[in-house]
Chains A and B, each alone.
Chain A
Amino acid sequence: MKLNERSLAFYATCDSPADNTGFLYKRGERHTAYHRRWFVLKGNMLFYFEERESREPVGVIVLEGCNVELCDSAENFAFAIRFGGTKCRTYVLAAENQAAMESWVKSLSRASFDYLRLVVRELEKQLEEMRWGLTSGYGGCQGPSGSWRLKSSVLEQSPERLPALPAVLPKENGCAVWNNTPGVHRPPDTSGCNECDDEGNPRPPPLPPRRRASSSEVSSTRASGAESLSTFCQLHEQYGREVYRLRQNWLERQRGPQP
């Protein structure tokens, strides 16, 4: 299978911040000798170089669907990246001290795209719930802290026990069958905002579709980061004004009829 290796190498060596770097000993595939390599973790990609100054990585380990565990190896401070499925290999690595080992185990076990996506969705949901919690007021919205704790406990489980991706789907006519992951395109839950209509007040602005068009830009540079952030900020502003207006109306009604 082809991979855009040149781009991968560029991603590995460019000056975008790495999530972890350091020397680790990597056990060979066929021979059990350990080789010292310079490791660079960026996102869900664990690159390894022969030397720290090497221009190109020797290899990369894609960190999706793996478990990171300590292992008893003759080598001290050893840990393993284990993939599921038959014939999938286990990468055995060893750090130079306890602190380094712990740091790597921690960062590797939370490196997957899947994990990050779960956290983002959770925060997204919390933010939406807070924005539409008009009954609890705007400024002092705390959100249902009980349910926050409940949700966070789901994520606090060790990443190894995050819901597994669905099993391999059967082939049809020689082609793999695929589905959209359930829930990815589900629009945000809007059941809470009907309360606003009870008194004949205007409906709150409709929630926008999850995906918003943004002008074409490099998807990973800071510039486009600012662009998508300002879109979120604009959204926040927009809803903020609406919320403020509704709250003013409510306060006025509370004061009672003016003579």
Chain B
Amino acid sequence: MRYNERELLSLARQPAEKAAEVLMRVPKKGSVLKKRLVKLVVNFLFYFRTDEAEPIGALLLEHCRITKEEENVFSISFMEEPERKYCFECASEEQCQEWVEALKRASYEFMRRSLIFYRNEIQKMTGKDPLEQFGISGEARFQLAA
């Protein structure tokens, strides 16, 4: 699949919502835990070798499952292949929990649902649609009955 790599690389260089050095294992036969820098930018998780400026790869965090595994460890798997897990071992349990929380909220879909929720709440409290002021109240993607 073709994709705009230059733009993605540029995105990877931007300030991250969250970044850390962790041990990472990809779901490939025989793969082992390796030290990586992971960086969360919008709905992408980039991963780098610790001494390199360009990422090895990126995971689009849509339709994925974030699972807390054993102590300090969480995994990311995708809906169409739930057994294929990307595993991450953090420095501490606290760090692990923070990542799990952050990643669960990292998807575009989650953000969309939050918007619909807040819109609804504000409308209930005020009788006004807060999206009207932004000129986007008609957009199908923000309607309640999705």
Query: A: which residues have CB within 8 A of B?
Result: 1-11, 14, 16-17, 19, 42-45, 56-62, 64-66, 83, 85, 87-89, 107, 110, 112-114, 116-117, 119-120, 122-124, 126-127, 130, 141-143, 148-149, 152, 155-156, 165-166, 168-169, 171, 173-176, 178-181, 184, 211-214, 216-221, 224-225, 228-229, 232, 236
Contact = CB atoms under 8 A, between A and B. Distances in A.
Contacts of A219: 61, 64-66, 103-107, 109-110
B23 interface: no
Nearest to B18: A180
Contacts of B10: 65, 83, 85, 88, 168
Nearest to A212: B101
Interface string B54-65: 111111111111
Contacts of A45: 60, 62
B64 A123 contact: no
Contacts of B31: none
Given A113-B43, A130-B122, A173 B51 contact: yes
Interface of B: 1-19, 37, 39, 42-43, 48, 50-68, 78-81, 97-98, 100-115, 117-119, 121-122, 125-126, 130-131, 133-136, 139-141, 146
A14 B42 CA distance: 22
B13 A169 contact: yes
Given A156-B135, A171-B53, A184-B17, 15 more contacts: A5-B1, A7-B78, A7-B79, A16-B109, A58-B2, A59-B1, A83-B4, A119-B115, A126-B118, A130-B126, A180-B18, A214-B104, A220-B63, A220-B109, A220-B110
A90 B59 CA distance: 24
A100 to B, nearest CB: 15
A116 to B, nearest CB: 5
Given A2-B57, A214-B104, A228 B113 contact: yes
Given A83-B4, A130-B126, A219-B110, A4 B11 contact: no
